[in-house]
Copies of this chain bind each other. A is one copy, B any other.
Amino acid sequence: MIIVMESKATEADVQYVVKRVEELGLKAHLSKGVERTIIGVIGDERLIQKEQLSLLPYVENVIPILKPYKLASRDFKPLDSVIDVAGVKIGGTEVVVIAGPCSVETEEQVITTAQTVKAAGAKLLRGGAYKPRTSPYSFQGLGEDGLKLLARAREKTGLGIVTEVMESVEVDLVAEYADLVQVGARNMQNTKLLRSLSKVKKPVLLKRNFSATLNEFLMSAEYLLSGGNDQVILCERGIRTFVEYTRNTLDLNVVPAIKQLSHLPIIVDPSHGTGRHDLIIPMSRAAIAAGADGLIVEVHPKPAEAYSDGEQSLTPSAFQQLMKEVKSVAAAIGRTT
């Protein structure tokens, strides 16, 4: 932590701040510049609050030096984490595609879709039983019945299941059915949910909130890791910007950025990320080329009749095309599918 003093601060003002730093159990180190004195704070700055220093008299600014997360950082764990989801490894050489409907609607719908995506090369099945919807008048999901239908699809196809949990009280129930428990973008900072999931023996797919900075994203992962669950997979799914053409702005920059900052795997959701079925294939290719460890894609047998998100769902044949193109790009950068 660096404390920048105002230009008008006197020697006594500086000493007052130094004393306060020492009272907090840290050491202070002065650098007197031409226009300003700065005070380097030595010790673990994560243990104190910035305000304890920034609000002292004649302090102009306090600049943190350390990253706020620790367990999620590559400094802490230099080698890539590889997460095992029902036997499928995410974060290794293989690029993993997760596919399935936005919402679980009927037994036929979910089983047909599971069979279709498996045949095309998907390794895990996604499907929502609990749905966070903007409108109270929209379909809110089948709940536990939806989880049962997903389990049936798993029996039939052998595909592991990825599904969302929305509340800490439902964590045990959802974890019983799911192979990979998803935290949706709106819940990325639901700290009670994160704490519950940190106690569960299932891997977690943590989606980035649409207005989360990278620090905030990794701090949410830190909730899981510090609570005891180190089976965390990150997911970029688009951020909110001024751009109106796409539903969100899929931010692929985050893929190589996360690879530098963290050891955790990161996958990409081009369905939510663009909100447009006609952009999913090119952005899936781009995600893999950027270094993503996988994709999570919405597929529906009849998108125009989907209960939710039909505009961003692929038809089965478009999904086959996606798999073909992704396989080719993955090979070009030395990865398998």
Contact = CB atoms under 8 A, between A and B. Distances in A.
A253 B250 contact: yes
Interface centre among A210, A240, A254 (most CB of B within 10 A): A240
Interface string A7-39: 100000000000000000000010111111010
20 contacts: A7-B75, A33-B43, A34-B42, A38-B65, A51-B309, A136-B222, A136-B226, A136-B227, A137-B226, A166-B191, A167-B192, A187-B190, A190-B190, A241-B249, A250-B252, A257-B279, A260-B278, A286-B286, A286-B289, A331-B332
Contact of A290 (B166, B278, B285, B310): B285
Contact of A51 (B245, B255, B304): B304
Nearest to A238: B253
Interface residues of A, number: 108
Contacts of A138: 49
A180 interface: no
Given A167-B167, A283-B256, A289 B329 contact: yes
A146 interface: no
A140 B255 CA distance: 31
Contacts of A210: 211
Contact of A167 (B41, B168, B249): B168
Nearest to A287: B286
A111 to B, nearest CB: 22
A140 B192 CA distance: 10
A258 B168 CA distance: 33
Given A186-B190, A190-B186, A40 B42 contact: no
A285 to B, nearest CB: 4
A222 B249 CA distance: 24
Contacts of A303: 51, 55
A133 interface: yes
Interface in A233-252: 239-246, 249-252
A70 to B, nearest CB: 9
